[in-house]
Amino acid sequence: MNGLIVTADDFGQAAEVNAAVMIAHRDGILTAASLMVGAPAFADAVALAQATPSLGVGLHLTLVDGVPVLPCAQVPDLVDSQGRFRDDMVRAGVAFAFSSRVRAQLEAEITAQFEAFAATGLRLDHVNAHKHFHLHPVIAALVIRIGQRFGMRSVRAPIEPAGVLRSAEPGARVGADVAMPWALLMRRQLRRAGLLVPDAVFGLRWSGHMTPVRVAALIDALPPGLNEIYLHPATSDSFAGHGPGYAHVKELAALTDPAVRAAAAKRQLGSFADFTSERLAA
């Protein structure tokens, strides 16, 4: 198989992101988008997605760098004094592991985000998490248990082989991926639960800097199997909630670039749902 899923994260973060998702899907190679159900432009994203059934839309579970779906009074240990999720992921992760009270709040918030997605009426194409927080074993276990109640069939495990990056960009300095052991463990757990998981995912080390040249070369260098490439496109680099230092506009350009489209034409493009039945039956 030479399957390729091309995903935009942070759908619903801002109107600039939503507009870019539509452009990249209509005029480029984008096949899927991950929706933040508690984000400011959520309603706009849902309306656009409902009018674009060819776009696979999944849940971008948000437990950091955002606000909860539940009232803050119901998840007091997950938020700061401003009502936002706590930014210290290490400290939050320790609390998830050792506090039953915090885990109960975490479970309630994850459930509420799945419920909010279900209320849109959109088909749940996939699930992942903002800043890959679902790599935390407690979150991963909750996502598997809760998600399957809502029809979840596909999940991203952020496994990015460094050798492929070096093939795409000879001489590139690619540091060690300290999260790789956790990602490999999560992939085993997800597949054991009968879920579709891409063999490799690209967009981690070059996050916010997926230029047209880089993406075209990366597609040509992809290994056999089912691969996912994810980006953060937007029509501006300075919208509310933008990634610090991210070249959002260049990432949008990469998704519609002629050379990128030519490279992608050699692959079997689709959303997660397009590959679910085929892969799980294999």
Kindly give the interhelix angle for 137-147 and 89-98, rounded to the nearest 10 degrees: 70
Torsion of CA 110, 56, 6, 261, to 10 degrees: -160
Give, as one character, the DSSP assignment of residue 155.
B
- Dump pLDDT digits (tens) for 177-230: 778 888 999 999 999 999 999 999 999 999 999 999 999 999 999 999 999 999
Residues in the chain: 282
pLDDT of residue 281: 47
Rounded (5°) CA angle 213-8-72: 140
193, 148 in Cβ contact below 8 A? yes
Let me know: does 31 contact 56? Beta carbons within 8 Å. Answer: yes
pLDDT tens by residue, 49-63: 999 999 999 999 999
For the residues 157-175, what does the mean pLDDT come to?
90
Q: Residue 91: which H helix or E strand, with range?
A: helix 89-98
pLDDT at 179: 81
Domain extents for the chain?
2-281
Task: Name the residue among 195, 86, 200, 190 with its Cα closest to residue 134.
Answer: 190
For the chain, what is the mean pLDDT?
Answer: 95
CATH superfamily of 2-281: Glycoside hydrolase/deacetylase (3.20.20.370)
Q: Find tokens 């948000």 and name the residue.
A: 62
Q: Give just the sign of the alpha carbon dihedral 19, 35, 245, 229.
A: negative
Q: What torsion, rounded to 10 degrees, do the Cα atoms 242, 247, 251, 256 define? A: 110
**pTM for this predicted structure:** 0.95
| pLDDT attached to residue 112 | 98
